[in-house]
Amino acid sequence: MKKQILASDKTRQVTLLLVDDSPDLLAVLVDFLRPVGWRLVLASDGQEGYQKATVLQPDLILLDVWMPRTDGFAALRLLKADPRTRDIPVIFLSGAQAVEERLTGLRLGAVDYVSKPFSPEEVLVRINIHLDLHRRRAADASAIDAEKPLAPGRISTTVCAAMNVLRQDLGQAPSLTELAHQVGTNERRLNELFRKETGATVFAWLREQRFLLACELLAETALEIQQISDQVGYGNAANFTTMFKERFGVTPGAYRRSRQVYHDGDAD
């Protein structure tokens, strides 16, 4: 006897966003989720999914990983960089079994990962679990402090997501092409956004962040110049020294000595 799939009264009014490039898979999801009574919204790629999420504010998103134009990882980066969507629970659906792919999704902020082919009952249970957890967290946050909605910032979601990717490892930054892919856009558009919102190209912004990190490491650690050079993406210490002096007017060693004198003076 086929089990009737039901949801609690608390979840009957929720909206689910289903994002997958397979019409057949979307049809399967709709067939077993429709009887629950939830509102179901469909999208065929990550960019469309992100755009619908910003407008509709779904309670939970089921997100495929590998899709054309904008894949699930890029879509999740955009979702987590946007104050309007960053708290929406995202469950990945994927046919891949690779552990590294699952870890990538979880590190980016997904709350769960379901492998295809999946059991409809398992997907439903996981959805209900994460809806309940999200509801409890929201209630706890409201009880502590009724926060005002965040106003959109000057930095766009795409630029914010790209900055987050670059900050993960300033010394081993992806190429501009790969970075643009990771945030669901193209190289030209990404550079245009950076120029408009930061006054610098992607590379110029990255270079400045590397210099800031280098200054911090010189002032706060005893790392060798070569080690610092490696950490900020300059394999050659001589090249790093030249670039650092052009930027600050002093060598890395001189900068370190000046900071040490400053700290010594504070200690007296």
**What pLDDT, in 10s, does the model give residues 184-199?**
899 999 999 998 888 8
Looking at residue 232, the DSSP 8-state letter turns out to be T
What are the chain's domains? 9-144 (3.40.50.2300), 157-267 (1.10.10.60)
With a cut of 50, say whether residue 267 has pLDDT above it: no
* Each residue's pLDDT tens digit, 168-184: 888 889 999 999 999 98
Per DSSP, helices labelled H in the chain are 23-33, 46-56, 72-81, 99-108, 120-144, 157-168, 176-182, 187-198, 202-220, 225-231, 237-248, 252-267
In the numeric block, the tokens 């300033």 are attached to 170
Do 61 and 17 meet the contact criterion of CB atoms below 8 Å apart? yes
With a cut of 80, say whether residue 28 has pLDDT above it: yes
* Each residue's pLDDT tens digit, 148-159: 443 444 678 899
| CA distance linking residue 76 with residue 180, whole number of Å | 14
What confidence category does residue 256 fall into, taking pLDDT thresholds of 50, 70 and 90? Answer: confident
- pLDDT of amino acid 52: 92
Tell if the pTM clears 0.75, that is, is over it. no
- pLDDT of amino acid 247: 86
In the numeric block, the tokens 């879509």 are attached to 75
What confidence category does residue 261 fall into, taking pLDDT thresholds of 50, 70 and 90? Answer: low
- pLDDT of amino acid 105: 86
Q: Which value, to the nearest 10 degrees, does the dihedral of the CA atoms of residues 230, 235, 241, 244 take?
A: -70
| CA distance linking residue 259 with residue 242, whole number of Å | 19
What confidence category does residue 143 fall into, taking pLDDT thresholds of 50, 70 and 90? Answer: very low
With a cut of 60, say whether residue 147 has pLDDT above it: no
| CA distance linking residue 66 with residue 92, whole number of Å | 10
- pLDDT of amino acid 117: 82
- pLDDT of amino acid 229: 92
